[in-house]
Structure 1
Amino acid sequence: MKTFKHLFTAALVAASVASFAQTTVVITTDSVAKTTRPMKTVERITSDFSIYIGFNSFGGSLPTGYDLKPIGSRFVALSWQKRIPLITGNGAKLRLITGPEVAWNNFMFEDRNTLVNQNGQLVIESANVDLHRSKLVTTQLNLPVILNLRFRSGLTLGAGAYAGMRLDSYTKVKPEGASAVRTHGNYNLNPVRWGLTSELGFRGSAKLFFRYEPNSPFRSGQGPNTSVWAVGLKL
């Protein structure tokens, strides 16, 4: 009887092992789908150095003798600018551009005309000899504030204003065949000037600029009532 029990038990164990060997165990795990979001480009504040080169002149009705040479009357400015991003979109970017600049206005007079300050009044006098050069030069420290809009196509538009204070001013008269004479003075110029500015460019190429000062650079009643404009390239 015991032998039969042992044989029966051994048969059950063998059957169980065979059944377990034929059983397929499937293990499932929960998988979590992960989505990768594109990295967003962060616009940073950048700096650059620009040079403005062009021509300038007086506008409006001028007294006799204030006629200027178009080619000799030049405008130059050295500008250190910060570009501050304001709005960044798929089609355009809006930035604020500002920073100090030093600007020079060269007003070159025609013929023998010279500018003289007599008893607090500006007077145009004619020299006794032919002149190679006669001009008024002003040096100014400006702070422009420009809103710049750049499109995906590369076209850039800028518009804003600037204000500045006079650093220096002088006349320079050079007779033919003689040394130039430079005379510093305030020449009844306003200590503070302001104007409007605009810029037009494409990608990284040079930009066209235009500036306009509606108010006269001279003090009221002590010089001509005139405006000032400048046009040229921003490099």
Structure 2
Amino acid sequence: MKTLSLSICLLLNSLFALSAPADSLIIRFGSKGKIAVYAPTKDQLKGITKYDLNRIVRDMVTKLDSVPEGQVYAIDAANGQRYLKDTLVVVQKSKGTITVTVRGNDSDTTYQSERRVRINKRETNSNRNNWKVSTDFHIGLNTWTGGPGVQTYGGNSYELDPLGSRYFAISATQNPAIVKTSKFKLSVRYGLQVAWNNFMFQESVIAQRGPDGIQFNPSATHLTKSKLTVCNIEVPLMPQFAFYNSSRKRAFNIGVGGFVGYRLDSYTKIKQDNGDKFHDHAGFYLNNLQYGVQGTVGLANFNFFVKYNLNTSFQDGRGPAVHPLSFGITI
């Protein structure tokens, strides 16, 4: 294996005289590794403290495979400037831009330039992330709130199966930051969302459009499944507050906002015990315009949402005065 001899020569006016008496400092690491530093006098040996020996050793290690065996690397008054400890580092911040300047060290000009490029690159990436479109999936359950204490309408039950009444939505949103620091971010999430509310009936009833309103008619036979599905396209708008830990990872976030939507489709799905399935696409006297409030709470990358419609599902006097309530997780 190649070896690299490191000789630190501190030249004041001329090269050290080889015949002069020398002082030395030997540092041993383990049983085999050691560093030896030589100087003609004790004063010049003390002068070595002006130099960053850690940096010198790191530079030499990177050259082990590229220099001839036995080569001596001399540090003189010219190239030794880059290893001096007493350089002045100036850090300035102006209008969001950080500039690092190393004075008295010409060899660090490249570092200053590279540092500025890295800072500007991070700021550019952060600005791009502000307008990044994210796709999220919202999975959970929903129910109807309000209406009579006993869920009946027109003499028949429309009580829902709590686990069979599922909610699903897919959204494409942006979340630009309004205020952002290393510990906190205030942003506004907005975009488009398509949501499906599935209302699964507990009893074997069929939702049907009657002459004056929706009817929940009992089935002549037992049904394995009977549900009413409503599909809406929505525009969510929600301010969000996010808090970050010392590693700049999101630790907690909370948001409260609203949404407005429009009904795209609604249909019933019926499954009989023998496996036969039937679908009926109709309006069922549902309100086409939907609006409400929503909120989200998150820990790290886990997010929980809740969503409540302020207006009723059905038109006034055409169905029970119930409001959809949805909740679940966002992935």
With normalisation by structure 1, the TM-score equals 0.82
**SS of corresponding position for 2:241:** strand
- The residue number in structure 2 matching 1:228 is 324
Q: 1:53 deviation in Å?
A: 0.2
Q: Per chain length, whose mean CA-contact separation is higher, i.e. which structure has more relative contact order (CA < 8 Å, sep 6+)?
A: 1
**SS of corresponding position for 1:99:** strand
- Residues 1:89 and 2:89 aligned together: no
Query: Which residues in structure 2 correspond to 1:73-222 (within 5 Å)?
Result: 73-153=165-245, 154-203=251-300, 205-222=301-318
Higher helix share: 2
Amino acid at match of 1:52: H
Amino acid at match of 2:268: T
Amino acid at match of 1:50: D
Distance in 2 (alpha carbons) for counterparts of 1:100 and 1:120: 34
- The residue number in structure 1 matching 2:136 is 50
- The residue number in structure 1 matching 2:248 is none
Q: 1:215 deviation in Å?
A: 1.8
Q: 1:178 deviation in Å?
A: 3.3
Amino acid at match of 2:198: N
Of the candidates 36, 41, 54, which is equivalent to residue 91 of structure 2?
36
Amino acid at match of 2:142: N
What fraction of aligned residue pairs are identical, expressed as a percent?
Answer: 27
Amino acid at match of 1:102: V
Distance in 2 (alpha carbons) for counterparts of 1:234 and 1:224: 30
Structure 1 residues without counterparts, runs of 5 or longer: 1-32
Distance in 1 (alpha carbons) for counterparts of 2:275 and 2:182: 62
Distance in 1 (alpha carbons) for counterparts of 2:146 and 2:210: 24
What is the alpha-carbon root mean square deviation over aligned residues?
Answer: 1.6
Structure 2 residues without counterparts, runs of 5 or longer: 1-87, 99-122, 246-250
Q: 1:34 deviation in Å?
A: 8.1
Distance in 2 (alpha carbons) for counterparts of 1:127 and 1:97: 44
Distance in 1 (alpha carbons) for counterparts of 2:216 and 2:264: 23
